[in-house]
Amino acid sequence: MEAINWFRLAAELGFPNSQYNLGMMYANGDGVLQDNTLSHMWFNIASANGDEEAGEQKYKREGLMTTSEVSKARSLANECVNSNYTKCGY
């Protein structure tokens, strides 16, 4: 799906709305495999960048995840941000 590529490019440039949209795509399996960990990661990043709805969605995801999955998602979010968006995923 081409939309995922555009959202990923914009997300990696630091646009919170695109980060939120990636979170939604992974949450719903829209054009990608459904993945709560990656969804949480993108919601976490978008929330840290000021997207309030992303924070709400992040907490909703946590209700569907194990403690280990939440920890992994947080670790991935830190790695993504610390790598200047070059290492965003598994």
CB atoms within 10 A of CB 6: 12
- Provide mean pLDDT across the span 33-38: 96
pLDDT at 74 over 90: yes
Helices marked H in the chain: 2-12, 16-28, 36-48, 52-62, 67-82
Provide the whole-model pTM.
0.92
**In the prediction, which pLDDT does 1 show?**
55
C-alpha radius of gyration, the chain, whole number: 11
Contact between 22 and 11 under an 8 Å Cβ cutoff? The reply is yes
Q: In the chain, where are the structural domains located?
A: 2-82
Q: Please give the mean pLDDT across all residues of the chain.
A: 93
